[in-house]
Amino acid sequence: MKRFLTAVVRGRMYGLPLLAVTILMTVPPCFAAEGRMRIQLTAFQQTTISSEISANILSMPLKDGATFKAGSLLVAFDCAIIEAQLKKAEAAAEAARSTLKVNKRLSELEALSVLEYEQSVAKAKEAEAELSAMQVAASRCRIKAPFDGRVVKLHADPYQYLTPGKPVMDILDTSRLEVRLLVPSRWLSWLKPGSRFTVQVEELGGRSFPAQVVRVGARIDPLSQTVSLAGEIIGNFSELLPGMSGWAAFGGGTKGGRK
């Protein structure tokens, strides 16, 4: 802000138009040259895996930086008590189903009152509900990967006791990388989802990768006259990592548009 005010005062001192000085100071630093913008690579998906039950960690096969496939085991909890409760619920549900089957036959033969039959129906429904609840609890004893990715950071250790909501690890999706950048709003006349461009990654010595636009921002910044853009790297490149930066080149797009 101070830099902006200083520029205005100097503009008046040297007789420069105030509007011209203002425009000069609000040009965003991401535009190094026409058609070339600063970019940042981000993960398409990232999340923190947390415990949903109170239990000790039995196994954590992956360490920081390890890669995994969707469905791979991330965390296994010691669920001996939950598994025992599940077996008890299964036995109770089976007994309730058997009782209901017998009572239904007796009711058809008019050897059982309507009230007794309805009570057996209710008991069977209650037993099935308890079984479903225990099955859900048992399913939380093992956490599997929701997508292909890598472990970013571990927040817990094997044999540590966790409570519901306690974070276990941070993971991110490396199979798809997004390219985040800002472009001049006037480019919206030709820049659309599907438009191709090239990404040069500084951490890899300026190596170029193909990319395409997937989303255009919902609003234009009134000061810088820029709009946010999200692109996607085309293809799988294991050497690319979230957090890498560089430049996006749209070629001759500013002179008629590259579509």
Domain ranges, ordered by start, for the chain: 1-28, 34-44+176-249, 46-76+144-172, 80-140
pLDDT by residue (tens digit) across 25-59?
A: 334 444 444 557 899 999 988 999 999 999 999 99
pTM over 0.95: no
Q: Write out the chain's pLDDT in tens, 259 residues.
A: 444 444 444 444 444 443 333 333 334 444 444 557 899 999 988 999 999 999 999 999 999 999 999 999 999 999 999 999 999 999 999 999 999 999 999 988 888 899 999 999 999 999 999 999 999 999 999 999 999 999 999 999 999 999 999 999 999 998 788 999 999 999 999 989 999 999 999 999 999 999 999 999 999 999 999 999 999 999 888 888 889 999 999 865 444 344 3
For residues 200 and 244, what is the distance between their CA atoms, to the nearest angstrom? 10
Sequence length of the chain is 259
Is CATH 2.40.50.100 the right assignment for the domain spanning 46-76+144-172? yes
For residues 14 and 17, what is the distance between their CA atoms, to the nearest angstrom? 9
Q: State the fold for domain 34-44+176-249.
A: Elongation Factor Tu (Ef-tu); domain 3 (2.40.30)
